[in-house]
Amino acid sequence: MPYVNIKITKTGATAEQKAELIKGATELLQRVLNKNPATTFVIIEEVETDNWGVGGESVTARNAKAP
């Protein structure tokens, strides 16, 4: 019973994009590890950019500096 947790920042991923991630992760586990899609769980967590840090600063701060 595979459990996949995908974490992304809340930057506007569409429902269609999330559905594609869920489908793709499920298909990958089936193809590579022969896991049953019916018992494969894929969770997408969206994290506020204030709560996601890279290189010692939040993504919000990094995005503010981007040209």
- Give the catalytic positions in this structure: 2
Decide: residue 28, CB within 10 A, 0-12 exposed, 13-18 middle, 19+ buried: middle
Considering only CA atoms, which of 42, 39, 40, 52 is closest in space to residue 5? Answer: 42
Query: Rounded to whole angstroms, what are the CA distances from 23 to 17, 47, 64?
Result: 10, 21, 33
